[in-house]
Structure 1
Amino acid sequence: MKVVGFAGYSGAGKTTLIERLIPLLKARGETVSVIKHAHHGFDIDQPGKDSWRHRQAGAQEVIVASSHRLALLREYPAGQAPTAHGLIAELRRGVDWVLVEGFKHEDLPRIEVRRAGDARPARYPADPQVRAVATDAPRGLQPPPACPVLDLDDPAALARWLADNAALFAYRPDDARP
């Protein structure tokens, strides 16, 4: 399994980049899973549905399954959000790539996504986990990164770069920090 995080400010294009990478990695015969961090409370359940009613009654976990998909709804006590490593452990074994959106403070190798004109501080100068920067404005990166700079608008090149540098993203669960 290879794990790569995508970090960047809201609106930088992380979701779009991941959305474009998935079919390219699949075309290479790779399996792909995604873990997405949500900053705000969210709910995929609908009031009145059986699973919602079970959660409202106090169930800590509810699994809804059909012949096509499965959803696990798990309640966490306030302040006890899961870690990326804990979520990776929940995934089906044997997946080739796990693309992690967000979780920028976790100990995972990542690609920083930056858009032209973004004056907010970059992560790459101080974050040793940044393996590359994907941007639409390479000349605007200050200071110039020591890591590779990739074209945000060329996901095929990024998919090739990931394949060529897969060893940078090898994930060993026993190396995961809690």
Structure 2
Amino acid sequence: MKAVAFVGYKKSGKTTTIEKVARILKEKGYRVVIVKSMHVDFDREGSDTWRFSRVADAVLVHAHDTDALLFRAKDINALFSMVSADIFLLEGFKSIKHVPKVICAREESEVRELNDGLGIAVSGVIASSGIREIEGLPVIDATKEPEKLAEIVEKRGFMLPNIDCGLCGFNCAEMAKLIVRGEKTIKDCVVLSSKPKVTVKIDGQVLPLKDWVQELVEKTIKGMLSAMKGYREGRRIEIIIRD
């Protein structure tokens, strides 16, 4: 699963850029999900949906023109896990630190302000000026060369777990910058690249376990089950605990 955030100030061309890139990626057969950051109270206090959300885990809304699922995610990755996608395109999310970014800008100073070490390209309004490179980043006009920008998203997009487990020796923000610079790859993320013997999920989200914890859990469970009828060594074991 890959992700790229398209960041920029108002009227910088984010929406148009994402629209062009998404269309190319869809034509290539990818399942694309666009995530938009909105600075408004979508589910305003006192509304029917707000009242329902106080007593339900989630609220499904059916309207004439669209449908929606209203819920409160614990974090951004938990939000992404609610839908199946090959590539997530994020509009906004300037503060996000564990995915690469396409910087949409109106002038060069905005690129410098927004590039936090995660930039992989520049697009938006400034791309129509004829400038080909800013701060070492390629400037691509998505209205004229959407294929070129889509290719960068396809090749360089990624999303780290955003759990700062430290198993790789870095936090996710540090690792993301190293990947963008080409000093590391997504395979250097222990959580994403390893195939643990023991996997624990809480509400569908994987909880990273260090090797010694995996060994402890494995031996404890196998030890308890070995005396029970029907247990066979080498079989897959699944245990589900519900509150």
TM-score (norm 2): 0.53
Q: Secondary structure in 2 aligned to 1:137? A: helix
Conserved 8 A contact 1:7-1:101: yes
Q: 2:80 matched to 1:54?
A: no
What's the CA shift for 1:111? 0.1
Change (3 A) 1:75 1:33: closer
Task: Name the counterpart of 1:176.
Answer: 161
Q: 2:89 matched to 1:72?
A: no
Give the number of equivalent residue pairs.
159
What's the CA shift for 1:87? 1.8
- CA–CA distance in structure 2, aligned partners of residues 177 and 59 of structure 1: 27
Task: Name the counterpart of 2:143.
Answer: 153
Q: Unmatched 5+ residue regions in structure 1? A: 77-81
Q: 2:134 matched to 1:134?
A: no
Task: Name the counterpart of 1:19.
Answer: 19
Where in structure 2 are the equivalents of 1:62-141 lying within 5 Å? 62-64=59-61, 71-75=68-72, 83-92=75-84, 95-106=85-96, 107-116=98-107, 120=110, 122-123=112-113, 126-138=115-127
- CA–CA distance in structure 2, aligned partners of residues 8 and 164 of structure 1: 18
- CA–CA distance in structure 1, aligned partners of residues 153 and 71 of structure 2: 35
Task: Name the counterpart of 2:211.
Answer: none
Q: Which protein has the bigger strand share?
A: 1
Q: Secondary structure in 2 aligned to 1:3? A: strand
- CA–CA distance in structure 2, aligned partners of residues 165 and 119 of structure 1: 23
**Max Rg structure:** 2
Conserved 8 A contact 1:151-1:158: yes
Q: Unmatched 5+ residue regions in structure 2? A: 164-243
- Cα deviation per residue 1:44-95 (whole Å; 9 max; x = unaligned)? 9xx56xx56523x6435213469xx75221258xxxxx54323222222xx2
What's the CA shift for 1:177? 1.3
The alignment-based identity, stated in percent, is 28
Q: 2:3 matched to 1:10?
A: no
Higher relative contact order (CA 8 A, sep 6+): 1
TM-score (norm 1): 0.69
Q: Secondary structure in 2 aligned to 1:24? A: helix
Change (3 A) 1:161 1:119: closer
Change (3 A) 1:71 1:38: same
Task: Name the counterpart of 1:36.
Answer: 36
- Cα deviation per residue 1:113-161 (whole Å; 9 max; x = unaligned)? 0125x8656335x5111111114435697x932121111432xx23333
Conserved 8 A contact 1:84-1:103: no
Conserved 8 A contact 2:36-2:91: yes
**What CA RMSD, in Å, does the superposition of the two structures yield over aligned residues?**
3.4
Change (3 A) 1:164 1:40: closer
Change (3 A) 1:14 1:161: closer
